[in-house]
Amino acid sequence: MPDIKAQNCTINLEGNSYEFPVIIGSEGEKAIDISKLRDTTGYVTLDVGYKNTGATKSNITFLDGELGVLRHRGYSIEDLAEKANFLEVAYLLLKGELPNKDQFDDFDSSIRHHTLVNEDLQNIFKSFPTGSHPMGQLIAMISSLSAYYPKALDPNRSVDAKNRTMLRLLAKMPTLCAMIYKKRLGHPVVYPSNNLDYVSNFLNMTFRHVSDSDYQHDPVVVDAMNKLLILHADHEQNCSASTVRLVGSSHANLYATIAAGVAALWGPLHGGANQEVLEMLESIKADGGNVQKWVDKAKDKNDSFRLMGFGHRVYKNFDPRAKIIKKTCDDVLNRLGINDPVLDIAKKLEESALTDPYFIERKLYPNVDFYSGIIYRAIGFPTEMFTVLFALGRMPGWIAQWQEMISENQPIGRPRQIYTGHTPRPFIPRGERH
Ligand code: CMC
């Protein structure tokens, strides 16, 4: 890997000049290292929403928003989505290299070993009201795993013990997601079948009825699911990964840390957008399919409505994941023989927005969430499960980001602020206040 080269940057403040190192990443990205800024100048920086702030160096994922490039450990997302399976990508994210056959078999069998969850976890489901959102349940279920593995609470555990926690999370995630789906339907859970690969096992636990011993999952669906999970596997310092790093930096246990990441993902501006997209497309359909009316609504500054599945903080050209998903969507629906009218609406909406000056000027393109829901629906998932599927895919990314931060012994995350409230004032007793 190329060396990070150092230069200097001079900052002039109140007649004094100060030198700060410039860091250049292996893909040429530049940053001014201001870690000593406050100590040397008394100033802090202000960057609400971290639009210009690099929170860490990282060698996991590279993305270039202008060119629409996404690579994990140097491998393009196009190659990974086309040629790898999800567990291989998980291994790559966690260990830095693609596994050879023995390494893969070993990793795969360790995951299979940990797929069961404690039977008592089922009691927790009983306390959720019928129809409660699957993401709320997922956050609770992941967090509650800490109760079954109390040794994981010790931040000074050995590397082996930490690895076991990471494996447990990866292995139990499909089981928990499938349980959430089954419990929502009021159906008995289907236990993991460890003769099946990761994705097939998940589909089996989700869609097989307990009594149906002949259930066969469609290879088209397994393939599409693998692709979708890979496309969601990591995305560097997004809102949920940054949450994972921030929570983990206090040395909170990994279960609680990941539960916090899932909570961040739930928001409609982040992973929750996939559910919102499908609901939006359904509303457009119910409204007679007048796409232009909804594009106009999204442009209206007096209307809080945004075109869901459009826009991205980093991608200002196109989202490479969205390109792959759009193609996969056509492919899967064709191969499954499904004709979903919302796909036509989505295409018209995309076309209309992409030729509209409002979206062109602001560089707003379809993102990963725009077409994914149409595939999930074709596979048979209800809309409320979509963000759970995003979380299933993002798990290796969150763990890899956490692992990198912990292994580098990074300090607790604790931003500064610029206080804009009252200056000191006298306390007036309650009876004397106006
Ligand atoms: N529809 C209409 N206008 C939009 C949209 C949209 N989807 N997205 C951004 N804009 C406008 C926004 O109003 C602003 O206009 P102006 O400059 O006139 O004030 C301009 O574009 C810049 O937007 P921003 O909110 O400052 O950009 P941001 O980087 O803070 O937000 C975003 C990025 C993804 C939150 C935003 O584009 C958005 O809300 N998109 C819809 C939700 C969505 O699809 N989220 C999924 C993101 S990708 C997957 C993931 O991260 O989970």
Residues spanned by the domain of 320: 78-414
Q: Are residues 85 and 47 in the same domain?
A: no
166: in domain: yes
* Structural domain count, the chain: 2
Q: Are residues 362 and 213 in the same domain?
A: yes
Identify the active-site residue in 133, 312, 319, 356: 312
CA 216 to centroid of ligand 1, rounded, Å: 41
User: Domain with 158 in it: what CATH number?
Assistant: 1.10.580.10
Instruction: Give the separation between CA 315 and CA 65, rounded to whole angstroms.
Output: 4
Ligand 1 atom 12 nearest Cα: 362
In 197-301, where does DSSP find H-type helix?
Answer: 198-207, 219-231, 239-248, 254-266, 273-286, 291-299
434 given a catalytic annotation = no
Q: Are 392 and 173 in contact, with CB atoms under 8 Å apart?
A: yes
pLDDT at 242: 98
330: in domain: yes
Burial 214-237 (b: 16+ CB within 10 A, else e): eeebeeebbbbbbbbbbbbbbbbb
CA 325 to centroid of ligand 1, rounded, Å: 20
Q: Are residues 257 and 405 in the same domain?
A: yes
pLDDT at 215: 86
- Please count the other Cβ atoms lying within 10 Å of the Cβ belonging to residue 328: 20
Give the residue from 407, 340, 349 showing the smallest Cα distance to 377.
Answer: 340
- Please count the other Cβ atoms lying within 10 Å of the Cβ belonging to residue 203: 22
289: left (phi over 0), alpha (psi -120 to 50) or beta: left
Q: Are residues 90 and 209 in the same domain?
A: yes
**357: CB partners within 8 A, 6+ apart:** none
User: Domain with 37 in it: what CATH number?
Assistant: 2.20.28.60
Give the residue from 328, 322, 330 showing the smallest Cα distance to 350.
Answer: 322
432: in domain: no
Tokens at residue 181, please?
């789906």
Instruction: Give the separation between CA 33 and CA 78, rounded to whole angstroms.
Output: 32
Give all strands of the β-sheet with 69-72 in edge-to-edge order. Answer: 61-64, 69-72, 75-76
Distances (CA, A) of 395 to 40, 169, 323: 39, 8, 22
Tokens at residue 394, please?
């993002």
Number of Cα atoms under 13 Å in the Cβ half of residue 171: 24
pLDDT at 6: 61
Q: Are residues 15 and 111 in the same domain?
A: no
Q: Note the Cα 57 to chain centre separation in Å.
A: 19
Distances (CA, A) of 3 to 20, 24, 139, 411: 19, 9, 39, 23
Q: Are residues 23 and 110 in the same domain?
A: no
Tokens at residue 276, please?
């919102």
41: in domain: yes
pLDDT in tens, the chain (434 residues): 444 556 899 999 999 999 999 999 999 999 999 999 999 999 999 999 999 999 999 999 999 999 999 999 999 999 999 999 999 999 999 999 999 999 999 999 999 999 999 999 989 988 899 889 999 999 999 999 999 999 999 988 899 999 999 999 999 999 999 999 999 999 999 999 999 999 999 999 999 998 888 888 899 999 999 999 999 999 999 999 999 999 999 999 999 999 999 999 999 999 999 999 999 999 999 999 999 999 999 999 999 999 999 999 999 999 999 999 999 999 999 999 999 999 999 999 999 999 999 999 999 999 999 999 999 999 999 999 999 999 999 999 999 999 999 999 999 999 999 999 999 999 999 999 99
Q: Are residues 333 and 372 in the same domain?
A: yes
pLDDT at 126: 84
Tokens at residue 200, please?
């097939």
CA 266 to centroid of ligand 1, rounded, Å: 16
**98: CB partners within 8 A, 6+ apart:** 75, 84, 88, 91, 92
pLDDT at 209: 94
pLDDT at 2: 46
425: in domain: no
Q: Are residues 92 and 206 in the same domain?
A: yes
Q: Are residues 332 and 217 in the same domain?
A: yes
- What is the DSSP code (8-state) at residue 310? B
pLDDT at 7: 82
Parallel/antiparallel/unpaired status of strands 69-72 and 75-76: antiparallel
Q: Are residues 13 and 136 in the same domain?
A: no
Dmax (CA) of the chain? 79
Q: Are residues 50 and 109 in the same domain?
A: no
Ligand 1 mutation target, pool 70, 364, 368, 390, most atoms within 8 A of CB: 364
Give this prediction's pTM: 0.96
303 given a catalytic annotation = no
117: in domain: yes
Tokens at residue 381, please?
């998932």
Q: Are 383 and 279 in contact, with CB atoms under 8 Å apart?
A: yes
Instruction: Give the separation between CA 149 and CA 137, rounded to whole angstroms.
Output: 19
CA 153 to centroid of ligand 1, rounded, Å: 37
First-last CA distance in the chain: 67
Give the residue from 386, 389, 394 showing the smallest Cα distance to 169.
Answer: 394
Q: Does 312 sit in the ligand 1 pocket, CB within 6 Å?
A: yes
Q: Are residues 11 and 123 in the same domain?
A: no
Ligand 1 mutation target, pool 299, 313, 358, most atoms within 8 A of CB: 313
